[in-house]
Structure 1
Amino acid sequence: MADQSNASMVAGRYGRALFDLASEQNSVAAVEADLRSLKTALAESRDLRALVGSPAFGAADKAKGLAAIAEKAQLHPTTRKFLGLLAANGRASALSEVIRAFEALAAQARGAVSAEVTTAVPLSAAQAKGVAAALRQALGKEPEIATRVDPAILGGIRVKVGSRLFDASLRSKLDSLKFALKRA
């Protein structure tokens, strides 16, 4: 748990630094678009996930790999330099979390709120619309929703907005029942 907390703190600091730099350069939209592309690439490419996450690759190898990807994708110079810095500092494995932190800051600057919705199966268009409407009403702001599918939650939904977590997953209900039965 401490490692996860430390990793999210590191990602938060890097995400904040990138957001501040992009704000100063009036390039938040360009950097955010780059990060969205990288997020998609990370989700779709097992090789890219292995490159950034595996300790088998050194910082120099990660920097070269990320630089090649940035060049091929024609990413904004700020994004390119940031990826190099992230790799050089041995933090490439935190790239996904840094992207999430940046997206949350960019959404906040636009007056929107980032929400991560996790379900056991993909949401239909009608379900996604319903979740967005419920979040809009509950938060009083326009939600920018990132969806994830995690079969481990078995069913239901988990919504994370900032540091708040609403967990109505079947997995958490079963864990609560298991805990209650152990105490009885």
Structure 2
Amino acid sequence: MAASSSIKEIAGRYATALFELAEGAKALDVVAEDLRHIQAGLNESDDLAAVLRSPVMSREDQGKAMSAVLDKMGANDLTKKFVGYVAANRRLFAMEAMITAYLEALATSRGEVTAEVVSAKSMTKTRLSAIEKAIKAAVGGKVAINHSVNPDLIGGLTVKVGSRMIDASVSTQLSKLKLAMKGA
């Protein structure tokens, strides 16, 4: 548990610094979009996730790998410099937590509620927009969606807003059915 709070602490400091730099450069949304792309890449590529977590890979190699990824996705210069700095300080292991902290800070600054939406497959912008609209109606305010993919859900999705969670995944439904069948 101490390691987890330590990572959150590191991530919070780095995310706050990035937020302040992005705010000064009037690039809050551009940086947020870059960070969402990095997060999507981490969710989809085990190799990229391994680069971030590898204790044997040198700082330079980690920095070069991340630089290549950021160049390919056309990331903003501020994002590139930030990730380069994080790599140089051997803090890439906390990158996912930094992304989460940055997006939370952005949502808070705008008075938005953040909704974590996890689906079994990638969703179209139209579908995400419909989900955002439904959550906005339920919450009664601005909503920022953080979407990720988890194929283990089999189908459906889970939505978490604050401490409330709606689990409409096929895997959970199957688990409930299995449990009910044991009692029969």
TM-score calculated relative to the size of structure 1: 0.72
Shift of 1:114: 1.2
Alignment check: 8 A CA contact 1:158 1:165 kept: no
**Counterpart check, 1:82 vs 2:89:** no
- Alignment of structure 1 residues 163-182 onto 2, 5 Å: 164=163, 166=165
- The secondary structure found in structure 1 opposite 2:56 is coil
Moved more, 108-117 or 33-42: 108-117
What are structure 2's unaligned runs of at least 5 residues? 176-184
CA–CA distance in structure 2, aligned partners of residues 22 and 80 of structure 1? 12
Shift of 1:122: 8.3
CA–CA distance in structure 2, aligned partners of residues 140 and 108 of structure 1? 15
Alignment check: 8 A CA contact 1:114 1:145 kept: yes
- Partner deviation per Cα, 1:100-137 (whole Å, 9 max, x = no partner): 111122222333221213478889x9x97886566435
CA–CA distance in structure 2, aligned partners of residues 79 and 143 of structure 1? 24
- The secondary structure found in structure 2 opposite 1:106 is helix
CA–CA distance in structure 1, aligned partners of residues 108 and 52 of structure 2? 27
**Counterpart check, 1:50 vs 2:68:** no
CA–CA distance in structure 2, aligned partners of residues 51 and 59 of structure 1? 10
Shift of 1:9: 2.1
Q: Which residue of 2 aligns with 1:13?
A: 13
Q: Which residue of 1 aligns with 2:70?
A: 70
Residue identity in the other structure for 1:84: G
Aligned-pair RMSD on alpha carbons? 3.4
- Alignment of structure 1 residues 122-133 onto 2, 5 Å: 132=132
Q: Which residue of 2 aligns with 1:32?
A: 32
CA–CA distance in structure 2, aligned partners of residues 89 and 167 of structure 1? 38
What are structure 1's unaligned runs of at least 5 residues? 175-184
Q: Which residue of 2 aligns with 1:100?
A: 100
Residue identity in the other structure for 1:141: G
Q: Which residue of 2 aligns with 1:115?
A: 115
Shift of 1:70: 2.1
Shift in CA distance, 117/5, structure 1 to aligned 2, threshold 3 Å: farther
Q: Which residue of 1 aligns with 2:181?
A: none
Q: Report sequence identity in percent.
A: 35
Count, aligned residues? 177
Q: Which residue of 2 aligns with 1:181?
A: none
